[in-house]
A and B are shown apart, each in its own frame.
Chain A
Amino acid sequence: MLIERTWKRWVYFYIPLTVFVVGTLFPFYWMLITAIRPDAELYRSWRAATNTPFWTLQPTLEHFRDLMAKTTFPQWLWNTFFIAVASTAISLFCGLLAGYALARLRFPMAGALGTSIFVTYLVPPTLLFIPLANIIRTFQLGDTPWALILTYPTFLIPFCTWLLMGYFKTIPKELEECARIDGATRFGAMLRIIFPIAVPGILSAGIFAFTLSWNEFIYALVFLSSPEKKTVPVGVVSELIRGDIYFWGQLMAGALLGSIPVALVYSFFVEYYVTGLTGSVKG
Chain B
Amino acid sequence: MAQVMMKDLNKKYDEVHAVKDVNLHIRDKEFIVLVGPSGCGKSTTLRMVAGLEEITAGEITIGDRVVNDLPPKDRDIAMVFQNYALYPHMTVYDNMAFGLKMRKFPKVEIQKRVQDAAEILGIQELLKRKPRQLSGGQRQRVAVGRAIVRHPQVFLFDEPLSNLDAKLRVQMRVELKRLHERLETTAIYVTHDQVEAMTLGDRVVVMKDGWIQQVGEPLELYGKPANKFVAGFIGSPAMNFVDVKVADANGALWAETQGLRVKVPPIHTSRLVPYKGQQVTLGVRPEDLQLASGSDPSEYVFDAVVDVVEPLGSEILLDLRAGNSTIVARVEPTVRLKVHEKTRLALTPDRAHFFDLKTELAI
Contacts and interface: CB of A to CB of B under 8 A. Distances in A.
A203 B261 CA distance: 75
Contact of B50 (A181, A184, A281, A283): A181
A4 interface: no
A2 to B, nearest CB: 37
Contacts of A181: 50-52, 72-73, 75, 77-79, 99
A178 B85 CA distance: 7
Contacts, number: 69
B211 interface: no
B146 A185 contact: no
Given A183-B73, A185-B73, A177 B81 contact: yes
Given A182-B99, A197-B89, A177 B52 contact: yes
Contacts of A172: 83, 85
Interface in B144-202: 146, 150
Nearest to A186: B71
A70 interface: no
B88 A174 contact: no
A171 to B, nearest CB: 9
A112 to B, nearest CB: 16
Contacts of B354: none
Contacts of A174: 81-83, 85
B84 interface: yes
B139 interface: yes
B36 interface: no
A181 B87 CA distance: 13
A184 B132 CA distance: 23
B83 to A, nearest CB: 6
A180 B87 contact: no
B41 interface: no
A76 B77 CA distance: 58
A175 B103 contact: no
Interface in B59-112: 71-73, 75, 77-79, 81-89, 98-99, 102-103
Nearest to A178: B85
B131 interface: yes
Contacts of A175: 85, 87
Nearest to B152: A181
B85 A184 contact: no
Given A174-B85, A177-B81, A196-B89, A182 B146 contact: yes
20 contacts: A172-B83, A174-B81, A174-B82, A174-B83, A177-B52, A177-B72, A179-B98, A180-B51, A180-B71, A180-B72, A181-B73, A181-B77, A181-B99, A182-B146, A183-B102, A183-B103, A184-B102, A281-B132, A283-B88, A283-B132
A177 B78 CA distance: 11
A177 B43 CA distance: 14
Contacts of A180: 51-52, 71-73
Interface of B: 50-52, 71-73, 75, 77-79, 81-89, 98-99, 102-103, 131-132, 139, 146, 150
A53 interface: no
A183 B150 CA distance: 10
Interface of A: 172, 174-175, 177-185, 188, 193, 196-197, 281-283
Nearest to B98: A182
Interface centre among A172, A177, A178, A281 (most CB of B within 10 A): A178
B71 A185 contact: yes
Given A177-B79, A177-B81, 6 more contacts: A175-B87, A177-B72, A183-B99, A184-B73, A185-B71, A283-B132
Contacts of A188: 102
Contacts of B50: 177, 181
A81 to B, nearest CB: 30
Nearest to A180: B72
A283 B72 CA distance: 23
B103 to A, nearest CB: 5
Contacts of A282: 88, 132
Contacts of B150: 182
Nearest to B143: A178
Contact of A281 (B78, B88, B99, B103): B88
A182 B102 contact: yes
Contacts of B132: 281-283
A144 B78 CA distance: 54
Contacts of B102: 182-184, 188
Contacts of A183: 73, 98-99, 102-103
Contacts of B75: 181
A97 B132 CA distance: 28
Contacts of A281: 88, 132
A193 B102 CA distance: 12
A88 B6 CA distance: 50
Q: Closest 7 interchain pairs by CB?
A: A183-B102, A182-B99, A174-B85, A178-B85, A174-B81, A281-B88, A180-B72
